[in-house]
Amino acid sequence: EEDSTLSITVVGASGDLAKKKIFPALFALYYEDCLPKNFVVFGYSRTKMNDEELRNMISRTLTCRIDKRENCDNKMAQFLKRCFYHSGQYNSEEHFQELNCKLKEKEGSRLSNRLFYLSIPPNIFVDVVRCASTKASSTTGWTRVIVEKPFGRNSESSSELTRCLKQYLTEDQIFRIDHYLGKELVENLSVLRFSNLVFEPLWSRNYIRNVQLIFSEDFGTEGRGGYFDNYGIIRDIMQNHLLQILALFAMETPVSLDAEDVRNEKVKVLRSMRPLQLEDVVVGQYKGHSKGGKSYPGYTDDPTVPSNSATPTFAAAALFINNARWDGVPFLMKAGKALHTKRAEIIVQFRHVPGNLFKRNFATDLDKATNELVLRVQPDEAIYLKINNKVPGLGMRLDRSDLNLLYKARYPREIPDAYERLLLDAIEGERRLFIRRDELDAAWSLFTPMLKELEERKIAPELYPYGSRGPVGAHYLAAKHNVRWGDLT
Ligand code: BG6
């Protein structure tokens, strides 16, 4: 470590993701002493700035989540001193060559490891990778590149992107990030399942009735309409974040926690799934709405969105896994923007107790009285298990209660942001939480035919008011598969 330098170059440094997530995550890692002794951070983008201006920009958006702790200002100043900037075009080998010189200057005679974070739109991925790999690769240590989604729009464009990147990088150098995999509760999913005897034996069609993966945001695409309209919620959230959770949830036990072993199991389960059918998908789009004297804009009111856009901002889907463990179990996904709440949850509904002795003692209908396990990914991380319990008293009345593990009560320490864990993993060369190429292909195969049909047939999304619970079609879809959405009951 003494004789090597790590440089982290954030390409697209003036963008939102860099400002909101990447720089703050790097600072948090620095604060926690997780970065190597000799590290430098470079910002690269087209905006003309000098080092000082970059530092000002970063410090303004640096959400020091540990700012209550002592020494934060000092640490922040130390960190900012290690941040530098180079302005350049994304397709200019010459500009990357200049960056290379600056990197070399910082590295001196030490061995150099270089991490590039591509926080840029996909249409310039290949240019940047070409320029960076030919002009700014490390010649003495490793070079790794983190790429953000979207990785293409469908199977074809994703394969094309892979083919282009392969000209310049080996699979080992590419770290495809899905930040949901860095979320604490998503990582915990495997712990919960594989190290608790009370769960793993129940993890199959024998005991589980359905699984629900729910993502909702209480704000629209404000300011991101231009990007979003090209992709829509299915590509933005379902094909990656929710599908990744599904794969972790449903995979068979991996041989070990090794990156390849885990990803082998994820690919296997993805490949056991049947591609989505249009009839198992409901799409929606939010429309303007006024509430309490305030008015909320509709999706197409965004000036960067065409007024006749049919891009879904909401979708619900039912997926199935054709294997012995999950045959017939619906996996329902629901994702939407501009809904009534901001939340991400994994809900597992268990089957009925056969011949339940107490069926007459339930206050509610028996169908609502089955066990349910909920992992609340955010906000306010929690795991709770709904169980049936006797209401204390002389009578015999049953009630559904929660065994509740609330993270902030049990673990008062702040939970690291997903980007912190993932950046650290990339620095350490740990690939388990990054998407392997075959995983990406499998994920696109599941969604591509349905997306194609949806777009070719110009299926109109069901409109729902901003701030509502989304289109009613989602209920019909669930009902068709005998499911009741767990977040609405
Ligand atoms: C991103 C999507 O991947 O995830 C955004 O592109 C979405 O549309 C975001 O808002 C949600 O992430 P988080 O961590 O805030 O739930």
Whole-number pLDDT of residue 362: 81
Reported ipTM: the value is: 0.98
Radius of gyration of the chain (CA): 24
pTM, two decimal places: 0.95
Whole-number pLDDT of residue 367: 77
Decide if pLDDT at 307 tops 80.
Answer: yes
Token readout for 222 is: 């404000």
**Would you please indicate which residues are annotated as catalytic (active-site) residues?**
241
pLDDT tens-digit readout, 143-172: 999 999 989 999 999 999 999 999 999 999
Average pLDDT over residues 386-391: 94
Average pLDDT over residues 396-409: 93
Whole-number pLDDT of residue 69: 61
Nearest CA to ligand 1 atom 15: 217
Whole-number pLDDT of residue 63: 62
pLDDT tens-digit readout, 68-90: 566 788 889 999 999 999 999 99
Centroid of ligand 1 to alpha carbon of 400 (angstroms): 33
Nearest CA to ligand 1 atom 10: 217
Verify cis geometry, omega within 30 degrees of 0, for the bond prior to 275.
Answer: no
Give the number of the atom of ligand 1 that is nearest the alpha carbon of residue 228.
8
Whole-number pLDDT of residue 86: 97
Average pLDDT over residues 303-314: 96
Whole-number pLDDT of residue 222: 86
Decide if pLDDT at 126 tops 90.
Answer: yes
Give the number of the atom of ligand 1 that is nearest the alpha carbon of residue 236.
6
Whole-number pLDDT of residue 365: 76
Centroid of ligand 1 to alpha carbon of 464 (angstroms): 20
The rounded distance, in Å, linking the Cα atoms of 194 and 44 is 42
The model's confidence at residue 94, banded by pLDDT at 50, 70 and 90, is very high
**Cα atoms found within 13 Å of the Cα of residue 419, Cβ hemisphere only:** 17
Token readout for 190 is: 């495997």
Ligand 1 pocket mutation pick from 217, 234, 240 by most atoms within 8 angstroms of CB: 217
Mean pLDDT of the chain: 94
Give the number of the atom of ligand 1 that is nearest the alpha carbon of residue 180.
14
The rounded distance, in Å, linking the Cα atoms of 479 and 482 is 5
Task: Measure the CA dihedral 82/86/90/91, to 10°.
Answer: -120
Give the number of the atom of ligand 1 that is nearest the alpha carbon of residue 233.
8
Ligand 1 — pocket residues by CB below 6 A? 179, 217, 236, 344
Residues 6+ apart with CB under 8 A from 169: 129, 133, 145
3-state secondary structure of 331: strand
Ligand 1 pocket mutation pick from 17, 179, 229 by most atoms within 8 angstroms of CB: 179
